[in-house]
Amino acid sequence: MKFRLILMLLAVLCLLGGCAAPDGATTDEGYDDLIVVGFSQVGAESDWRNANTRSMQQALSAENGFRLIIDDAQQKKERQITAIRNFIHQGVDYIVLAPTTEDGWETVLGEAKAAGIPVIIIDRMIDRSLATGEPGDDLFTCWIGSDFTRQGNAAVAWLEGRFGSTPVRIVHLQGNYGSSAQVGRSASLDEGLRRNPQWTLVARDSGDFTQAKGQELVEAYLAQGIGFDVIFAENDNMAYGAIDALKNAGLTPGKDVTIVSFDANRKALEMVAAGEIGFDVECNPLHGPRVKAVIEQLERGEAPLKYTYVEESAFDSQGLSRELIDSRGY
């Protein structure tokens, strides 16, 4: 909206000043009636993230009436803060933020609010204390994402069903510290460890949600002679790396070590079907259509829901079919 206003003012000034587009046409013939969205994306650390970016590009396309400007923060919060300030300076109509971690957004979101630019948060949450729940007096208009604690609880429940009272030694590959996905999934495992004294946590580190770091950590644990029965990987890419490390050490994932993971990418579901991953909890990245619908609501002057949790499932080899895997959108 703001972007269009600036263009219209420029067009009026041109008409008054007699200026014209290079081809002599008046500038309003090239008027760009698109909704301009600045999207601060975490990075490109995982299959999930890339699917999330593609979903936003497909939904917020020029054909659908949008101009999408994406900034890849390479998993650094300070780059996201700079990107948001640039979007404010550019006078975009909306800002979409996929926050790296929950803390530290007060100042820059206050600047967006002062500039009158609605902010839509997707995927992970920001510090909830910034939200009063009342539309309009908040630092963000609405949030669309996942319930990460519920996801973690599903994985813990599956492990309880799989192992019963049998003692197990657990390796925990965490996501980026302070990200909602890590906070929620880790809290569930901590509760599971408290509830199951026969479970032992033998190693826990952040694998940054990346395949390379996941492999590196498991290789280090194996080299240190740490014995373990379960790998609790907080996303599929770290699970892929763990599986490579196990295979390189002559171990059989799914037989020597049980793996639970999150995201349920198509590639990971192939590994569930092959028995390499025991259980995979879906984390749906396809937020593009949801963001498009929210912006269209706001354009109509309607107030969207403050919080929208996306529908998500979970898979082990029992409930998995070829057509289900082939039908996956990511």
Q: Letter for the amino acid at 125?
A: M
List of residues 6+ apart from 248 with CB closer than 8 A: 219
Do 152 and 187 touch, CB atoms closer than 8 A?
yes
- Does position 181 interact with ligand GZL (CB under 6 A)? The reply is yes
By rule CB under 6 A, what string of x and - marks binding of each residue 35-54 to ligand GZL?
Answer: ----------xx-xx-----
Does 123 engage in binding with ligand GZL (CB under 6 A)?
yes
CA atoms of 196 and 325, how far apart (whole Å): 33
Measured from the CB of residue 211, what is the shortest distance to ligand GZL in angstroms? Answer: 10
Residue placing its CB nearer to ligand GZL in the complex, 123 or 276: 123
Alpha carbon distance 262, 239 (integer Å): 9
Closer of 93 and 263 to ligand GZL (Cβ): 263
Decide: residue 325, CB within 10 A, 0-12 exposed, 13-18 middle, 19+ buried: middle
Residue 44: CB minimum distance to ligand GZL, A: 9
Fill in the DSSP letter of residue 257.
B
| Binding of residue 124 to ligand GZL (CB under 6 A) | yes
Q: How many residues bind ligand GZL (CB under 6 A)?
A: 13
Q: Is 235 in the site for ligand GZL (CB under 6 A)?
A: yes
- Is 108 or 181 the residue whose CB approaches ligand GZL more closely? 181
**Calpha distance 123→49 (Å, rounded):** 10
| Nearest in space to 44 (alpha carbons), one of 263, 264, 237, 289 | 237
Residues 205-234 that bind ligand GZL (CB under 6 A): 209
**Smallest separation (angstroms) from ligand GZL to the CB of 51:** 9
In angstroms, what is the minimal distance from the CB of 49 to ligand GZL?
A: 5
Tell which one of 60, 73, 154, 283 touches ligand GZL (CB under 6 A): 283
For position 263 contacting ligand GZL by CB under 6 A, the verdict is yes
CA neighbours closer than 13 Å in the CB half-sphere of residue 282: 19
Where do the DSSP E strands lie in 124-167? 142-145
The residue (of 202 and 310) whose beta carbon lies closer to ligand GZL is: 310
What kind and span of H or E run contains 309? strand 307-309
Among 41, 146, 215, 261, binds ligand GZL (CB under 6 A): 146
100 binds ligand GZL (CB under 6 A): no
Cβ distance 152 to 188 under 8 Å? yes
Q: How far apart are CA 133 and CA 138, in angstroms?
A: 7
**Of 67 and 79, which has the nearer Cβ to ligand GZL?**
79
Residue closer to ligand GZL by CB (options 45, 93) is 45
- d(CA 271, CA 261) in angstroms, rounded, equals 11
End-to-end CA distance of the chain: 32
**Rounded to the nearest whole angstrom, what is the least distance from the CB of residue 265 to ligand GZL in the complex?**
8
Q: Which is nearer to ligand GZL, 35 or 243 (CB)?
A: 243
| Least distance in angstroms from the C-beta of 155 to ligand GZL | 12
Q: Closer to ligand GZL at the Cβ: 228 or 262?
A: 262
Tell me, what DSSP letter sits at residue 39? E
Tell me the C-alpha to C-alpha distance, in Å, between residue 59 and each of 36, 94, 206, 292, 330.
Answer: 13, 15, 32, 6, 15
CB of 176 to ligand GZL, least distance (A): 8
Residue 124 or residue 292: which is nearer to ligand GZL going by CB?
124
Cβ of residue 100: shortest distance to ligand GZL, in angstroms?
9
Q: Are 125 and 101 in contact (CB under 8 A)?
A: no
Task: List residues binding ligand GZL (CB under 6 A).
Answer: 45-46, 48-49, 123-124, 146, 181, 209, 235, 262-263, 283
